[in-house]
A and B are shown apart, each in its own frame.
Chain A
Amino acid sequence: DAEITQSPRHKITETGRQVTLACHQTWNHNNMFWYRQDLGHGLRLIHYSYGVHDTNKGEVSDGYSVSRSNTEDLPLTLESAASSQTSVYFCASSERPGLEVFEQYFGPGTRLTVT
């Protein structure tokens, strides 16, 4: 069965370190998204990609970067981790929509703690 996986599931890091969170999907979806989930804010979009070599900033992109070298993977990098980036991170993917409504499929999440 197709799926979307994230690794690691839990990560503790120190302020100032570079951290990369992995996201891998086997749906063969063109669209991939990274969100962060914080209490009281729901999910907020960090970055998204509509295909290989395409990346776009979301509403909370400062301090994060992504790259898309193939269809299956969209790693999220925190260049210099800050305590404000302690959160739960979700990756999602979806088909390239035409005029139809699309569904985003979510990974299980990565809980990141920055000390």
Chain B
Amino acid sequence: GDSVTQMEGPVTLSEEAFLTINCTYTATGYPSLFWYVQYPGEGLQLLLKATKADDKGSNKGFEATYRKETTSFHLEKGSVQVSDSAVYFCALSDLAMDSSYKLIFGSGTRLLVRP
């Protein structure tokens, strides 16, 4: 079945460092891809999304490009801030899977940014 694999965390960076969180997926159809962020004590919020190959999603300085050839959707940010400390989830939605609109999540990657 469809699945999402994320790099293990935690990822610890100094402020202003470059961030990459890897995400790869397996899907039978043509999924839409998402990054959600969870700040401490809160629910998940959509960070960015991409619906087709070569689309680039971006928000708050974060970017991710839908790479069909490598089945990847890696999250990047050029200069992280302490306020970016959170857990990041990669997810997919594959309408072709069973005509449903469910999200399949990766296991999450915790990011800790030190001042």
Query: How far, in Å, is B18 (CB) from chain A's closest CB?
Result: 25
Q: Are A103 and B106 in contact (CB under 8 A)?
A: no
* Residues of A that sit less than 8 Å from B by CB: 4, 31, 33, 40-45, 48, 50, 56, 58, 90, 92, 94, 97, 101-104, 106-109
A97 touches B43 (CB 8 A): no
Most buried by A among B6, B93, B102, B106: B102
Count, A-B residue pairs, CB within 8 A: 50
- Known A-B contacts A101-B49, A101-B93, A103-B49; the reply to A42 vs B43 at CB < 8 A is no
- Judged by DSSP, the binding face of B is loop
Partner of B89, one of A43, A50, A56, A97: A43
Known: A107-B43, A109-B43. A97 touches B101 (CB 8 A): yes
With A43-B89, A48-B102, A94-B101 as contacts: A101 and B51 at CB distance below 8 Å: yes
Is B108 a contact of A90 with CB atoms below 8 Å? no
CB-CB contacts of B19-33 with A at 8 A, as 1s and 0s?
000000000000010
**Contact between chains at B43 and A106 (CB < 8 Å):** yes
Query: CA A108 – CA B107 in complex, angstroms?
Result: 19
